[in-house]
Each structure stands twice: as C-alpha cells, then as structure tokens.
A and B are shown apart, each in its own frame.
Chain A
C-alpha cells in the first residue's frame, strides 16, 4: 500500500496540528450532576475552588481573573452565544448579565484561525495579551477561558457576583489590539 501511504502524509500532518494539547484535562473542574440518572460520584462542590487553585496546574502561566468565579453548569440561568470571526471580532461584543447569576457563554469559532474567549478586567486582558505576544505558543488554560481551533465550539460557565463592567477578549497575538474584545455589563 505504498501509494496510499504517501497519500496520507498530508492527512497525518493535519492531525499533528498543535492545539490538541488544549484538550488536556488538568484544571478542568466544571462538573455537573444534573443528569437524567444522577452521576453516582461523590458530590463534589466546586463552589469553594476559586480559579486561584488552578494556577499550580498551568505549566505556562495563569490567565485567571479576579472578576467573578467559575460557575457550576447546573446553576446556569442564561446561555449567551458568542461567535468569533477572523476579522478579529466577537459577535455580539456587548452582553448583559444579572449580578448573582451564573451564565454559560457558548462560544463558536467561525473562522480559519485559532481564537480565544477569555473573561477578565481590561487590565488583566491587556497584561495577558502582552504575555502571549512574547510567547505565542504558551500553553494556557484556565476556567475563565476557552481556546478554540477553527470550527471548534466550547463554553465557559461563569458566576458574576458584583455589578460592574467586565470584558472578554481574545489573547491570540494581535487580536485584542485589533478590537477582539467585548464588554459584559453586570447589573
């Protein structure tokens, strides 16, 4: 099958695209128990595990945030879909959330480039974007973010305690500067 083998080299190289590493499960704590048959696992609660607890899992560095905390899927009251485009913009780029509520951001990468959805303050996002510029291949993964390859979809479940204006941005080098940032009005 030599001929066929050769034909496959292209295919294999696609499989080897970096980014698969994002699918690793460290630091992935969101776990619901609201199944049809409830999961028989011990009833872990992640209420008390702020994102800070994750920092030691992240080999690169943490892009965590002080804005709110990770939410539990079973507490989700509202789901907001956000699409990411190669023009380096989010659609929509402004959303409203009630203080004290848990929200699921359901994020889709509509483009051909890698994009990210990261929750934080404006300052945090800019600082993290700067770090990413210096080390674009830095592995990063925190509960306040999702990194998506072309066509992938994913989500972030987040709980906002206090009213205020917060942000979501893409930390891929250059994207934030070109306007890939949106606001979350918490009322």
Chain B
C-alpha cells in the first residue's frame, strides 16, 4: 500500500555493494558482514497479546549515503503494535546490538519497572539478552514507543502503538493511517552533541549576517540596527534560535521515508480518514497541514478531545494528534515543515499510488519576537503586539537588563496578594500562582537567561504561525472528553523552571543539570500542581513518565490530559498530576539533545 520505490532502489544498490558498505558508516561499531536492509515506510502491524521485537542495526540510504540505522524487526518505523484496552500484553525484546538498549512505551500507564528507562526503571537490556515487558493496558488511543538508550531513537528506533478502546469509540472513521514524522541525520548523533557544545548555533544557518545588518540599517536607521544587534549580543542568543539542530543536518521523514519517496496513503473519495500523527523526531517540531483539507482534531496524546476544526497544528517530539479528514479530490500533500523552516517532511494522501499534489513553499523564517524572549513584559505598553517583529520601534531597553535582572520587583506581579484579605471560602490554590520564583541555582553559569514576566496565555500558536491566515490549533482549543481524571483541586504547587545556556549547550531544570540533581518527591495519592516556567528561547516538549499531566488554563480550569506538554519560550504553564503510580519515574524534555545534556529529572512517588 505504501511505496518507497526510490529508496528501495538505492537500497538495492547498497546491498549489491555488499561488504563495501562495511566501514562506510562512521558511527556504527558492530562488525556485520552482511548488513540487512531496513524496510522503510511499511511498518508491519503486530497484534495480539504476545509480541517479539528484535533490535538490530540495519542498512538505510536516505540521501545517497549508506548508513546503519538502529531498528526493530528491521523496519523503520518499527512495527505498529495494535493492542486492546484491558489486555495484558507480553513483549519480548531481544538486543542484537553491541550496546545496551531499551524500549519506553510513551504515554502508557504501567508499573514503573516496565517503563524502560535504563538506570531508573531497570538496568537496560544488555547485548544478546532478551527482556520481557508485561503490563495491562488501562487506556486506549494513539501512542508510540522508542528506545531510551543513547541516541538510538535518533537512529531510527521508534514505532507506533495503537490501543483499541474496550468500549465503542466516539470517533467514527472509514479508514486510518499512522503518520509518523521524524528526523534523520547521516551524521553520528554523538558528534552532533559535541558540535553543539562547541558552538550552540552550529546548525542554525538562519543567523543574521552583515547583509541583514545593512538591510536593518536601511529600515531602522543606524541606531535601530545597532540596538537590535546589541540586544542579541547581550543575550548571547541568536534571534532565530528555534531549533538548535536543523535541516542542514536533518532530513525530515514521513513514516521513515524522505521527501523524494513520497510516502502515500490511500483513500476512497467520500471516506472519512483518521490520520494518527505522531511526532517521533529526536529534535524537531513540525507544523502540519494538508493544503485543501480541514483537519478535525479528535485526540491529543491518545485522549479523546472535543473536536476542533483547524487548518494546521504544531507539535513537538513526543506529542501525538489524531485528526479526521474527508478528502474529495484525487490527491493531497501531507505537508510538515520544521519549526525553523529548514526543511519539511512530505507525503501524499491519494486515491491511487503514484499520484501527487502541489507541494507548498515553506513559510519564511521568522525571528523570535519580543514575547518569545520577555514574555508579557511589553503587554499593555504596545498592546496587541502579536504580529510584531523585533523591529526597532518595539525594542525595549529593559531587554538589555534581562540577564542581570534579579528577583527585585516581584511583589508587583503577585496577583494572589490580593487574596490575603479573602475569606476562607476561596482556595488559595484555585488558580496557579503567578509569582515568579527563580531557584538560586539559576544565577550560575548553567543559565544564560531568565524571564521575570512570563506569558501565561495558551492561545498563541507560537513563532512562525501567528497571523498566517490559517486556523492554527493551540492548547487553548483542547478539551479532553469527560473532564479530568481526578476531580480534586491541587493540594500543593511546585514550580520548575526550564533553563539552559545556549553557548555552553547545557540544558537544565531550575539551573541544575540532571547529573547534579536530586529526585523530585511526590507523595502517593496526592494531587499536585506543576508550574513549568520557560526561561529559555526554545520550546521544550516536557514529558512526565508514568502519570498523566492535566493541563489547566491560567484561571485553573481543566483543559486537556496530555503526556507531553510543549512550553513555548518565556511561557509559564501549569498542569495537575495525581501521584497514583508508586516508584521511580523520569521527567524530561523530549528533545534528545536537551535531555542528554541535562534537562532531565527523576521523580519518586512514595
């Protein structure tokens, strides 16, 4: 049904080259004599309650170069697992690599020792060994699974997991396709980390040049242009820091196939087609649309939501959205541009194989705007600045002081102070606290930026999608059907700041990298509010294992149940967690390179 003929042909050629392929890959140590060829774009479906998965290195050729991928059952993406809610499943995972491996079942509620995080849930799976996972599925929806070891996820080790609901589903459709988007690099992912550590902007080719400067001089005058430069320099950031690794190393894949392969999913005219979009990229946010089709979002992170009709949505690594479309023409392009506009993943929805529709131009690159760096600072003063650029007239000198700004003037922001005189009838935790509390560790070398006036609104689609003339999904649009999993209000509140130093390429939580951190304690049975406050200029998809994250509005109203919550630059969001799962869990940014360099914490529920 799905074709990847071009890459097939490439692969055949590679295969014929035989042993010559050995050694071509600079980043694989294993000594395979006859490398197996990876099956691309045709993830087989495995169902039932007993599954065998084998992790191995297999050959791929995405761009003319032979490389070794880390795959499951020789397929990229890995097989689609189809289970039934309520079933107890046994999954045997055999490691044929020469390094440890693991599988994490992303978004699945299970016992902590089945969660698959080496060093926390279990020791990992040694070369040659088999580990048996066993758990009962107490949920339904679209999920996925991936390696939690080294850089194996970047190297191709991810697949979809679909859990059919035990009860009839409110979503009706005639046909479905999994659309798994990811990023692929021919480079050694470990080498990428080294390069990023040397220079955080290594892959950011949208950095302003001297020509941009002269253009600015023309537009803003010399003073304005200087001011613009100076501000960025002061903050040691680049105005286009949207993704730290870009299309200059990445190819963006649709179901494991590059653009030219044009992965195609079929439909018959008049059918309602369910597309299960999964972002399994190591580091890329995608802006997804299907020109000519409205998408009705029906599920977010596997949980049914009130239907919302949109033209486009953005999602980060780890997130999933299920959409319904009703195509009538012969072909449509499945278009997903990366957040930094360095490239796009492409596929086609068509009535027969071999068809294609127009592929749109990518949108222009945008610089981060004031609200992405300073949050709500300029609200009021410049009112309605959503569409503003970093133009000279919106420049605020206070930006220069941002990094040096200490906890001076916080009382002014403490809206809750007004509560002091209230009667006991008002729960002080009814709404998330707005008082910014930077940890003392945020004043060290690991942190190059702090936001004192975050924005809390959830109706901003984010940089590059604002006012683009299309209806773009935002978190403010999402409502999980049936309400929260726990009707309680929070019993306490914790605040975590997402922090980093772009130039040193270290990422952290509250200024503390994982290696130096202590686990976060949760008390079994409690209902906790977690405030995530982003003190960086990048969007971080934060994934808590083992327990649901129930996102709330700035007023404390329940919105949507998710497993991965993307926090935009200078944004402050909050969600409620019921600590209903004993054991050791982890909480991390799902951008592999941020996780790997420190934006990762252990959470202990006891």
Residues on A with beta carbons closer than 8 Å to the beta carbon of B435: 40
With the chains together, A104 CA to B294 CA distance in Å?
48
Query: Is B525 touching A155 in the complex (CB atoms < 8 A)?
Result: yes
Asked whether any CB of chain A lies closer than 8 Å to the CB of B527, the reply is yes
Given contacts A1-B296, A76-B523, contact A34 B173 (CB under 8 A): no
B545 CB to closest chain A CB (Å) equals: 18
**Interface residue from A15, A25, A36 paired with B494 (Cβ < 8 Å):** A36
Contact for A15 among B425, B482, B487, B496, CB less than 8 A: B482
One of B284-292, B413-421, B448-456 contacting the partner: B413-421
Binary B-proximity of A2-20 (CB < 8 A = 1, otherwise 0): 0111011011101101011
**A126 on the B face (CB < 8 A):** no
Could you tell me if A155 and B527 are in contact, using CB atoms closer than 8 angstroms? yes
Alpha-carbon distance between A12 and B308 when the two chains are bound, in angstroms: 12
Which of B439, B486, B494, B495 is packed against the most chain A CB atoms within 10 Å? Answer: B486
Mask, B466-507, CB within 8 Å of A = 1, is 000000000000010111111111011111100000000000
On whether the beta carbons of B482 and A40 are closer than 8 Å, the reply is no
- List B contacts of A37 (CB < 8 A): 437, 439, 494-495
- Enumerate chain B residues within 8 angstroms of A59, measured Cβ to Cβ: none
Distance of B58 from chain A, by nearest CB (Å): 39
CB distance from A25 to the nearest CB of B (A): 5
Known interface pairs A40-B416, A152-B485; A7-B172 also in contact (CB < 8 Å)? yes
Alpha-carbon separation in the docked complex, A3 to B429 (Å): 43
B523 CB contact (under 8 Å) in A22, A25, A79? A79
Residues of A within 8 Å of B479, CB to CB, are 15
Residue of A nearest to B410 (CB): A40
Considering the chains assembled together, what is the distance between the CA atoms of A178 and B248 in angstroms?
68
Q: Which residues of B contact A49 (CB under 8 A)?
A: 424
CB–CB A4/B489 < 8 A:
no
Task: Confirm or deny: A154 has a beta carbon within 8 angstroms of a beta carbon on chain B.
Answer: yes
Measured in the bound complex, the distance between the Cα atoms of B430 and A1 in whole Å is 38
- Which of A23, A35, A49, A148 has the most C-beta atoms of chain B within 10 angstroms of its own C-beta? A35
Is A146 positioned at the interface, with any CB of B under 8 Å from its CB?
yes
* CB pair A30 B489 closer than 8 Å: yes
Among residues of B, the one whose C-beta sits closest to the C-beta of A157 is B491
Contact call B492/A39, Cβ cutoff below 8 A: yes
Q: Identify which of B425, B439, B488 contacts A26 (C-beta below 8 A).
A: B425
A35 and B492 contact, CB distance less than 8 A: yes
Residue in B488, B492, B520 whose CB lies within 8 Å of A155: B488
- Chain B residues lying within 8 Å of A154, measured Cβ to Cβ, are 486-488, 527, 578
Q: A73-B526, A152-B487, A153-B580 are in contact. Are A25 and B430 (CB under 8 A)?
A: yes
Which A residues, 19 to 55, have Cβ-Cβ distances below 8 Å to chain B? Answer: 19-20, 22-23, 25-26, 28-37, 39-42, 44, 46, 49, 53
| Residue pair B326, A11 in contact (C-beta under 8 Å) | no
Q: CB-CB < 8 A to A26: which residues of B? A: 425
Which residue from chain A places its CB closest to the CB of B531 in the assembled complex? A37
Q: Please tell me if A165 contacts chain B, counting CB pairs below 8 Å.
A: no
Whether B492 lies near A44 (C-beta < 8 A) is no
Residue pairs across A and B with CB atoms within 8 Å: the count is 157
| Mask: chain B, 204-247; 1 = CB below 8 Å from A; 0 = not | 00000000000000000000000000000000000000000000
State how many angstroms separate the Cβ of B303 from the closest Cβ of chain A.
Answer: 12
A74 within 8 A of B: yes
| A interface footprint on B239-267 (CB within 8 Å = 1, 0 otherwise) | 00000000000000000000000000000
Asked whether B524 is an interface residue with its Cβ less than 8 Å from the other chain, the reply is yes
Question: Is A146 in contact with B491, judged by CB distance below 8 angstroms?
Answer: no
Instruction: Kindly supply a per-residue 1/0 record for chain A positions 104-117, scoring 1 wherever the CB is within 8 Å of any chain B CB and 0 otherwise.
Output: 10101000000000
Residues of chain B within 8 A of A187, CB atoms compared: none
A106 touches which of B171, B304, B525 (Cβ 8 Å): B525
CB nearest to B172 among chain A residues: A7
Against B, the Cβ 8 Å flags (1 = close, 0 = not) of A45-71 are 010010001000100000000000000
A149 at the interface (CB under 8 A from B): yes
Chain B residues lying within 8 Å of A172, measured Cβ to Cβ, are: none
A147 on the B face (CB < 8 A): yes
Q: A4-B324, A44-B424, A79-B523 are in contact. Are A152 and B486 (CB under 8 A)?
A: yes
In the bound complex, CA of A59 to CA of B323 (Å):
41
- Complex contacts, B578 vs chain A, CB 8 Å: 153-154
Cα A151 to Cα B580 in complex, Å, equals 12
Q: Is A81 an interface residue (CB 8 A)?
A: yes
A76 to B, closest residue via Cβ: B523
| Least distance between B225 CB and chain A CB atoms (Å) | 41
Q: Is B48 an interface residue (CB 8 A)?
A: no
CA distance A76 to B393 in the complex (A): 55
Shortest C-beta distance, B525 to chain A (Å), equals 3
C-alpha spacing A155/B430, complex, angstroms? 17
Q: Are the CB atoms of B424 and A14 closer together than 8 Å? A: no
- Tell whether, in the assembled complex, residue A32 and residue B491 are in contact, meaning their CB atoms are under 8 Å apart: yes
Q: A77-97 toward B: CB 8 Å interface, digit per residue (1/0)?
A: 001010000000000000000
Contact B425 A57 (CB under 8 A): yes
CB distance from A4 to the nearest CB of B (A): 5
Q: Is B460 an interface residue (CB 8 A)?
A: no
Quick one: which of A7, A26, A108 has the most chain B CB within 10 A?
A7
Which residues between 301 and 315 of chain B lie within 8 Å of chain A, taking CB atoms?
A: 304, 306-307, 309
Min C-beta distance of A82 to chain B, whole Å: 10
Cβ of B524 and Cβ of A30 under 8 Å apart?
Answer: no
With known contacts A4-B324, A34-B492, A40-B437, A104–B526 Cβ distance under 8 A: yes
Chain A residues positioned under 8 Å from B416 (CB to CB): 40-41
Q: Which residues of B contact A10 (CB under 8 A)?
A: 170, 172
Q: Does B133 sit within 8 A of A, measured CB to CB?
A: no
Instruction: Please measure, in the bound complex, the distance between the C-alpha atom of A147 and the C-alpha atom of B526, giving whole angstroms.
Output: 16
A3 to B558, CA, bound (A): 29
A79 to chain B, nearest CB (A): 5
Shortest CB distance B171–A (Å): 7
Task: Tell me, in angstroms, the Cα distance from A19 to B296 when the chains sit together.
Answer: 27
B304 lies within 8 A of A41 (CB): no
Do B483 and A23 have beta carbons less than 8 Å apart? yes
Q: A7-B324, A8-B170, A41-B428 are in contact. Are A28 and B296 (CB under 8 A)?
A: no
Q: How far is the CA of A115 from the CA of B173 in the complex (A)?
A: 33
Contact in complex: A35, B304 (CB < 8 Å): no
Given known contacts A36-B494, A42-B420, what 10 new A-B pairs fall within 8 Å (CB)?
Answer: A1-B296, A4-B272, A10-B172, A29-B427, A37-B439, A39-B429, A41-B433, A57-B425, A73-B491, A154-B486
Can you spell out 12 A-B residue pairs with CB atoms less than 8 angstroms apart? A1-B294, A1-B309, A15-B306, A25-B489, A32-B429, A39-B492, A79-B524, A106-B524, A148-B487, A152-B487, A153-B486, A154-B487
Report which A residues bind B (CB closer than 8 A): 1, 3-5, 7-8, 10-12, 14-15, 17, 19-20, 22-23, 25-26, 28-37, 39-42, 44, 46, 49, 53, 57, 73-74, 76, 79, 81, 104, 106, 108, 146-149, 151-155, 157
Which A-B residue pairs are the 8 nearest by beta carbons?
Answer: A106-B525, A11-B170, A32-B492, A73-B491, A41-B428, A7-B172, A36-B494, A32-B491
